[in-house]
Chain A
């Protein structure tokens, strides 16, 4: 039972702090910092379902975020739907898309699958760049009046923030629930040895397609919310390969295969990048410093920070999952 897991309550507590600290002080700057941290955690956490749980490296994970942004923004701004409804529909639509694609490309394994995900990313970007209803290469812009139903832009940005924190909490709880389920056990079996898992009765094709689809749902919702907040979307921003790779780096930093690892990696990576970019002394070297630190983690803590913590204090596994 997930409610009995201490980590579940830790997630709720952390999410509550994310909501109340900037709200109490009406600190917009902190909100802007935390929203990027939350999006990083959402991306890393859902990518963890594929890489950490199932052992499939997905370089195209940003497709879900970008497509979700497009579907949701189209419904909310062009069709005039309620933002939350548009976001959920975007999540469902992108999950269905992922399920169909997953059934096809998840027959590939290892490097072949990783390469195929880059191909899918390119194909989707090319399609969207030529799709008239979504503004082709120039994308879609959110009119300032589109924020009025939520009480104007200032209030709309706060509401978007709360919704993104909720999606972050759901991402971590979903990861925790899957980790502690029979389905999750099947995924771990696939990760360790797919052929052996099949022999033991795990329907690997279906399991993989389902987790690929599940890993698309919450990033797609986050995409709608984030691009609505940003006020515009175009293919070069929505499907940027660098963001996919950054999400993988976050997982490596925190520790793949663990719920806390994805959260910690996402949070730390984003905080570090933000700090370096805005630091008057270090901003010119931000990429060098970030790269150097990541190199140190990969060399000396290949299991990420959580892997390192588990080695130091094995009992921590009971609380920090």
Chain B
């Protein structure tokens, strides 16, 4: 009896060997691919819903792209990203409970912050205790970073930067302008306007009027009368979408002879188009706009991000969405640099970060009295213009190096 006859045919042996090799290879890849959990809360309900969800979309897009590319790769290992997230109802009451749950029960390796400075400060009390790194997005108020933290890293340029760009643009165009501040009496807008007033005076502008309005204001006629009476030529302020869009409409209806109007947050939303002619000419400080083309050291280009975002969500990316994506990208970069997910090493890598991505430059302060504060990122000033077909479009008008159109001044 021939020896070969008592064994399987040669072609079967070859196939089985090949199959076993493939299985071993897959198993080894699987073994190396560990999950990495990132925890955060989203304001699915409540006042912060719109902005928070846009940020969440940024996180989602980053996660899907990273996982599609085989996960985060560090020191020969591959980490597949998974999320643990809950609705914080736009309320700080439940934030500590949820972040504790994410750390202890969901075993989150890293955290993203809730949307808004107040909620972030509350979450930080818990995350600092457990030495968990938290990248903060949508938390522009700088106070949080002055409280002695070790593991917070801010992605947005801080609140004092918001109106600085508008005042710089104004200084270049009309240094003798008279300025009025009309703003929502809420944490974010007060944190923005207070340093902006000082900066305006420092730049030599005459601040002729300043008044805060209640967050739920719907009738601005009294306050607009005062602005007109003050003979201000420029108005800066606003707060969030609801009040900002109403203020924009009423300013247009009153035909206030203002040469420049800059409002916070609201004009950055794609819903601003609904204001029609009332929205044209209004400026908004922005953390990111697709027209600003930074040459990224890693991650997608601006055009790629813009295209992928539109393809996935059928919507324009806002600066909240870009900030969300960039938070993931910066964390990924730090994990790669640190060679793993050890919190101390990743924190060290984040502290050393000075990188340019599609979102712009990112660098964190490392001094103990302001640790994690964003010091590298610059804001831009965008203004609503009309394109050739008469459709409203947002253009970057400041700084000059990034501009996609000239500042329309006076507006009309």
Interface of A toward B, CB cutoff 8 Å = 28-29, 32-33, 35-36, 126, 129-130, 136-139, 141-145, 152-154, 157, 229-232, 234, 236-237, 240, 242-243, 274, 277-278, 283-284, 286-287
Contacts and interface: CB of A to CB of B under 8 A. Distances in A.
Contact of B148 (A32, A139, A144, A229): A144
Given A138-B190, A144-B147, A32 B96 contact: yes
Give the secondary structure class of B's interface.
helix
B97 A32 contact: yes
Contacts of B147: 141-145, 231
Contact of B187 (A236, A274, A286): A236
B129 interface: yes
11 contacts: A29-B104, A32-B101, A137-B212, A141-B121, A143-B148, A144-B147, A144-B149, A153-B128, A230-B93, A274-B94, A277-B94
B86 A277 contact: yes
Contact of A136 (B91, B100, B143, B190): B190
Contact of B100 (A29, A142, A277): A29
B155 interface: no
B118 A234 contact: yes
Contact of B94 (A29, A36, A145): A36
Given A231-B121, A236-B186, A138 B94 contact: no
Interface of B: 44-45, 86-87, 89, 91-98, 100-101, 104-105, 118, 121-122, 124-125, 128-129, 141, 143-144, 146-149, 185-187, 189-191, 212, 214-215
A278 B143 CA distance: 30
B101 A141 contact: no
A28 B104 contact: yes
A234 B118 CA distance: 8
Nearest to B41: A277
A35 B97 CA distance: 9
B211 to A, nearest CB: 11
Given A231-B124, A236-B187, A287 B45 contact: yes
A278 B121 contact: no
B128 A139 contact: no
Given A144-B149, A236-B187, A230 B141 contact: no
B120 to A, nearest CB: 9
Given A137-B185, A145-B148, A231 B129 contact: no
A232 B190 contact: no
A129 B185 contact: yes
A29 to B, nearest CB: 5
